[in-house]
Structure 1
Amino acid sequence: MKLGFIGCGNMGTAMVKGVLDSGKCTKEEIMISTKSEKSLEDKKNALGVQATTDNAKVATFADVLFLAVKPQFYAEVIAQIRDVVSEEKIVISIAPGKTLEWLGEQFGKELKIIRTMPNTPAMVKEGMMGMCVNSLVTEDDISLVRDICSGFSRTEVIAEHLMDVVTAVSGSSPAYVFMFIEAMADAAVAGGMPRKQAYTFAAQAVLGSAKMVLETGMHPGELKDMVCSPAGTTIQAVRVLEGKGMRSAVFEAMEKCLEISRKM
């Protein structure tokens, strides 16, 4: 099986590294394209895969083709490759806002198209990806793509109308979490802890808490209550967060993210 990645920025690079590290494909079975010769050499040296600046060459090579460019470049890229993308290939989009219908119209032919929304934790093989598919994609195709992506991300197949929600709750949310970690670390520094150590404590607390949600299956509120001892320190911290509108701020931020995603 041959994979192609048109575009190889942070997300594309994370995907390629994840696939290689998992052994799903060899370096010879992956081809990437970049916009400039300089980035081409950098990526080729870093990843060791086949590389080109010719998008059509990648599209011809690949059995499974990832479109990993920014949304504003999709129409241009698809115009460059539509004539060499045949019906047996699987085309995978990672762009927010570009619907299955829009993608199909741009190609102007019946193709197997999968729309996904990954996130940057794929860079450390802890990504979360939502995916939806058009009517030509089979269950075997879905299993194949999920297996490919398992090297860098969990995946969930969802209805397309939820893809913008995925952008808000998963695609963009690492930024919210990084802000939370940074704020906790700043407070720890104010309390006298060295900054590097503060980041370690804050980040590990977030990692461990997230793992508890995923592995115990318990409601987050129940897990929160386990930490809040009567008349203890934690319940007082929770009281302040509630008073400052933490839940509302997160809710409103995600609503704005969802609004912008729907307009893209």
Structure 2
Amino acid sequence: MGGAFVRGLARTDGYHVTAIDLDEDALADVEPFAAETTTDIAAARDADAVVIAVKPDAVPHVLDDLDLRAGQTLVTLAAGVSRGFVDARTDADVVRVMPNLAAASRDMAAAVTEEGVTDDVRDILDALGEYVEVSEDLMDTATAVNGSGPAFAFYLIEAVKDAGVDGGLDPEQAEVLAAQTFKGAAETVLRDDRSVDELIDAVCSPNGTTIEGMEVLWDSDADAAVRAAVDAAEKRSRELAGDYDE
């Protein structure tokens, strides 16, 4: 996620991004997109905003080494790590965010805790995509919906692509058509005032092709399977959170 943030912010103006990592290979990956790279964690003390983008079990170790001052903003991206856990271990102002990898292309969906969020953090999130502000107790749900959601979407795109290939399309052609169709559908949901059900109705002409396909989906357990996938991801997020409550 850290790399996705760096790549996304590189597409905007107004941010001087310093990438900090002990792994020099990781720094090499983001070097073309960062103003500076360093292995010195002390460099974080000079920043207005610091983003922790590590696996949950690494958060306590990073916080032990991170000497931030009052007035700085610390944004955490780690799944299951509560804002309170981090807040108790730093003098900085803490904001918890659950983004996704589409930050790299500035198409991110993110959830941010209502408590602690600032206009500066809102500006960063707005620059990288869409975001919603939620209470801390809904962050596990958000983790499942938008944090894990891209994998679920990739799975569905692959299924539509494979159906196209089975019908005779070239795999590359089928992938472009499937992926762009999902992208366009998502943009329509975000920009159109109609509900998802109303949009489905708008696409489904009586006795047309789409309604035939939708009848198959309506008669299947596809929606239940998707809900089960989200529920499983949410459960795992809550399990992780149990180790980092404060």
**One-letter amino acid of the structure 2 residue matched with residue 198 of structure 1:** A
Q: Which residue of 1 aligns with 2:47?
A: 62
Find the aligned partners of 2:50 and 2:24 in 1 and give their Cα distance.
21
Q: Which residue of 2 aligns with 1:85?
A: 68
Report the aligned-residue RMSD: 1.6
**One-letter amino acid of the structure 2 residue matched with residue 52 of structure 1:** T
Find the aligned partners of 1:36 and 1:119 in 2 and give their Cα distance.
22
Find the aligned partners of 1:41 and 1:245 in 2 and give their Cα distance.
45
Find the aligned partners of 1:214 and 1:133 in 2 and give their Cα distance.
22
Farther-moved stretch of structure 1 (233-242 vs 176-185): 233-242
Contact 2:6 2:30 in 1 (8 A): no
Question: What are the superposed Cα offsets for residues 62-92 of structure 1, whole Å, 9 maximum, x if unpaired?
Answer: 11010011111000100111xx211110110
Question: What are the superposed Cα offsets for residues 140-184 of structure 1, whole Å, 9 maximum, x if unpaired?
Answer: x62111112322222222111111111111111011111111110
Structure 1 residue 106 displacement after superposition: 3.0
SS at match of 2:19: strand
Counterparts of residues 55-204 of structure 1 (less than 5 Å) = 55=41, 57-81=42-66, 84-107=67-90, 109=91, 111-134=92-115, 137=116, 142-204=118-180
Q: Percent identity?
A: 32
Find the aligned partners of 2:10 and 2:18 in 1 and give their Cα distance.
12
**One-letter amino acid of the structure 2 residue matched with residue 233 of structure 1:** T
| 2:8 alignment partner, one of 11, 18, 32 | 18
Contact 1:119 1:171 in 2 (8 A): yes
Off by >4 Å, runs of 4+ in structure 1: none
TM-score (norm 2): 0.92
Structure 2 CA distance for partners of 1:220 and 1:38, relative to 1, 3 Å: closer
Find the aligned partners of 1:38 and 1:256 in 2 and give their Cα distance.
33
Q: Number of paired residues? A: 240
Question: What are the superposed Cα offsets for residues 30-55 of structure 1, whole Å, 9 maximum, x if unpaired?
Answer: 211122233334433x2242211122
**One-letter amino acid of the structure 2 residue matched with residue 249 of structure 1:** A
Q: Which residue of 2 aligns with 1:49?
A: 35
SS at match of 1:263: helix
